[in-house]
Structure 1
């Protein structure tokens, strides 16, 4: 495919007077069975200016041949649809990518009421694309948005929940420093049949709530960070049938490459950490992660007559 990322990241960054290495990490040992990257941002490039084709090839070689590409503002969402249309299936007819579109909560907080209406109208139209299987990422982010922007975030979140329920698509939830309010909105609105906590960041209690509700918990490279024991404890109690794994690339690169650009080919680091902390057999966990992703989003191919059957889908 000819598309290239529409946003770029620099090769180094300055922090505390030091220049940090932003070159891509080496490829890890491949996984024994393939898994799905539940959430990635291919619209954001890296210091090596690698093409989408290159990144997908690297991911396939490491054991992550399929992914969900997330466009979380209007330019990225439009680009995501172009990417979905440009990709080519493998010899088995399976595509490398499905898509998700939404307004990130921090993006929603920047818009006035009229701007939010117009943006959500365009997002809603994109949900008719047969390879768009996710409304997301949406939710609440109280880390970057000050209190005066939180009402707009919540309004946007509620309207994305409604879109997911009306279309039968999965909802991917962004939750940063807003656990109680995210759970409150989901209770008040009624969560969609397929609800996924992208980059799960809660504690054991929240993981148990998600398990009781049948919500998926997707874990990113944060799971491998030295200061993330609470997150590892939460991962350990999630029922295996509700586990997903992601990169959130190019962010949240797993240890030992934290701070360098992430990509789907680095997913094995997180999967292996997940297997070790849970005491799961690695091959069996890989199989479960793949089956969970397929159950949440449907097959990685477009049905001849339109949208494939997905849980709760139209």
Structure 2
């Protein structure tokens, strides 16, 4: 979840892009979140719109208690959806301040037991929105989520905002889960190389299409195909030229085509890799 990354908005939803030739997964979306005065999306409509352009599966992420409860309810109803649950790092700092963090962890662990919850996340560190007084709570919560991912055998999705060094340090100290995903990757080429060397997956969002994102595109260019994922982080981070509009999974093809251009490969090859990587990380949507 990346509130604050985008500026401005446009009138009306963006048009549907050209469908992808091979279906892919939106690796990270928030169907429980309303934005900019708009209502939260109708889940069935959002999933159908996405499937119509070749985004036939999604990973719904609930990163507070209400979102996690919503996620468990929805994955039980929609075969195109798997889910993730966690306490977002900014939420962890707030809950710690009121003495409620441990109880929240207990509920997240219970919700994570659902067989269609395949992700612990998004968890991690955010030094942009939480000040020094919340850092320790974020560190404690990140460590707890890493342990939960390892105990449950689920993938870990990491939120990393202005905290690259500490994210890598804590992962090294705790030992990363077998499947670790850098959600909405925001680092440079050096961070990308480090993550690849450690065996992490890097998930790219609409930010890769932004004009000022040259360093991010340089980072993407060195990531092997078998370590790539794509996401929206909807309703945020809408790809250009629709930056500022409400994002949705049906806009993933814009990001995929931009990624293919950076990687200098054809779109079907990239789509096949993105789909296979998602199934490897999260398992089958049909089970």
| TM-score in same-fold range (> 0.5) | yes
Superposed displacement of residue 112, structure 1: 2.3
CA contact (8 A) 1:22 1:261 kept: no
Q: Which residue of 2 aligns with 1:106?
A: 90
Q: How has the CA–CA distance of structure 1 residues 50 and 102 changed in structure 2, closer, same or farther, with 3 Å as cutoff?
A: closer
1:44 pairs, out of 21, 33, 37, with 33
1:257 is matched with: 242
Distance 1:50 1:180 in 2: 35
For this pair of structures, how many residues does the alignment match? 279
CA distance in 2, matches of 1:23, 1:281: 31
TM-score (norm 1): 0.86
Tell me what 1:24 maps to. 13
Question: Structure 2: which 5+ residue stretches go unaligned?
Answer: 1-6
CA shift for structure 1 position 301: 2.5
Listed as ranges, the gaps of 5+ residues in structure 1 are 1-14, 88-94, 303-314
Measure how far apart 1:86 and its partner are.
2.0
CA distance in 2, matches of 1:210, 1:108: 25
Between 1 and 2, higher relative CO (CA 8 Å, sep ≥ 6) is seen in: 2
RMSD of aligned alpha carbons: 1.5
After superposing on structure 2, the runs of 4+ consecutive aligned residues of structure 1 that deviate more than 2 Å are: 19-23, 45-50
TM-score by length of 2: 0.94
Provide the residue aligned with 1:170 in structure 2.
155
The 1:20–1:245 alpha-carbon spacing in structure 2 relative to 1, beyond 3 Å, is closer
Q: Which of 110, 115, 123 matches 1:130?
A: 115
> How far apart are 1:147 and its partner, in Å?
1.1
C-alpha distance after superposition, 1:205-248 (max 9, x if no partner): 11111111110000000000000000000000011100000000
Correspondence for 1:76: 67
Equivalent of residue 188 in structure 1, options 160, 173, 179: 173
Q: Is the 8 A contact 1:202 1:234 kept in 2?
A: yes
Deviation at 1:48, TM superposition (A): 6.5
Pairwise CA distance, 1:22: 4.9
Deviation at 1:280, TM superposition (A): 1.2
